[in-house]
Amino acid sequence: MDANDLVQQYEQGRFNFAEASLVRAVLVGVTMPKLNLCRANLQQANLSRSNLEDADFYKAILEKVNFSHAQLHAAKLKRVRLQDGNLTAADLSQADLTGAFLQGACLLNADLSHANLSQAYVRAANLYQANLTDADLYKQEPSPAS
């Protein structure tokens, strides 16, 4: 599946793209709330400035993905692999990042207010000036999440 197919099918009312392969997909500035990309492979995809509020990325492969300036409010990012991802200035407020693997991810100026980061692996992640107001940081993982 390519990015154009995804957008076209979404506009026709399809929301479930679980396990889709969208490696290096370019989806800059798309508006696709409630999108289901559980267990999808989006390695090196560019989703900057996209609106993906309440989207479900459970166990998705998001290594080196670009979510800069994306709207991910209340997104489900549970147990995702976001290694070396770019989330600069992304809105992750109320997002569920339980058990997420965020090693090397850039969350510079990201809004993580009220987000759940319990059991997330954040070693070498850049959280400089990130908003962590009321974020759940319980039990950070000392080793990579699986």
User: pLDDT digit string (tens) for 91-137?
Assistant: 999 999 999 999 999 999 999 999 999 999 999 999 999 999 999 98
How high is the pLDDT of residue 141? 56
Q: What is the mean pLDDT of residues 35-51?
A: 99
Q: What is the pTM of this model?
A: 0.92
> Which listed CATH number (2.160.20.80, 3.90.228.20, 1.10.3720.10, 2.40.110.10) goes with 1-7+16-146?
2.160.20.80
Q: What is the C-alpha separation between 80 and 62, in angstroms, rounded? A: 7
Tell me the pLDDT of the chain averaged across its residues: 95
At residue 98, the pLDDT reads 97
- Measured at the alpha carbon of residue 58, what is the angle toward residues 90 and 32, in degrees to the nearest 5? 55
**pLDDT for position 137:** 87
pLDDT of residue 146: 46
Picking from 78, 80, 69, the residue whose alpha carbon sits closest to that of residue 103 is 80
Band (pLDDT 50/70/90 cuts) for residue 34 is: very high
Q: Which sequence spans correspond to the domains of the chain?
A: 1-7+16-146
**With the C-alpha atoms ordered 145, 101, 111, 130, is the resulting torsion angle positive or negative?**
positive
When pLDDT is cut at 50, 70 and 90, the band that residue 37 belongs to is very high
* Residue of 25, 23, 32, 24 lying closest to 4 (CA atoms): 25
Average pLDDT on 42-53 reads 99
